[in-house]
Amino acid sequence: MTTINTDKIVISGVPAKYDASELQRRQKQYQAAYKKTSQSCDMVRGGHPKQFLQAVIDHAANGYSLTDYAVSLDPAAYSTLMRKPESMQEVDLTKINNDVRDTYKAELEASHEGYKQRLFAQLVQAEESKQAAKVQAAKDKVYDDLRRQAEACYAPLDFPEV
């Protein structure tokens, strides 16, 4: 036994459109997360205190700054996070903005493609329904003609009244 899906496909609404303020909102959200987390930092390490302090000095000379993150002074594993200089952060933020833009664009394209696929399915379903109705109408016409032929072959039953 086969089952027929009788759910009618109906699409409503429209796919999302590009909204500059939405893109800007998303970019600002990711920028804020970048600036408020360790993403805007680099880990500075040293195997012994002098090596560690020299690495901190070298990073500071290149524009890095100390943060409020904890400094690890475990023997042979000295480390701390230092905030990147503004020039390096700008490069990172540009990449973040581009990544957010690409993600937003991909979401919009997926939304458009989804609507296209659902519209195609709706149109196919409507066409199949039309074709099925035509086929059923043709069958009904043939069956009515065959019934008339069958009726014409036999005279009505003559049964006497008692």
- Predicted confidence at residue 72, as pLDDT, reads 94
Q: Where are the domains of the chain?
A: 38-84
What tokens were used for 159?
Answer: 């049964």
If phi > 0 it is left, if psi is from -120 to 50 it is alpha, else beta; for residue 63 that is left
Note the pTM of the prediction, 2 decimals: 0.71
Over the stretch 93-103, which tens digit does the pLDDT of each residue have?
A: 999 999 999 99
Over the stretch 54-84, which tens digit does the pLDDT of each residue have?
A: 999 999 999 999 999 999 999 889 999 999 9
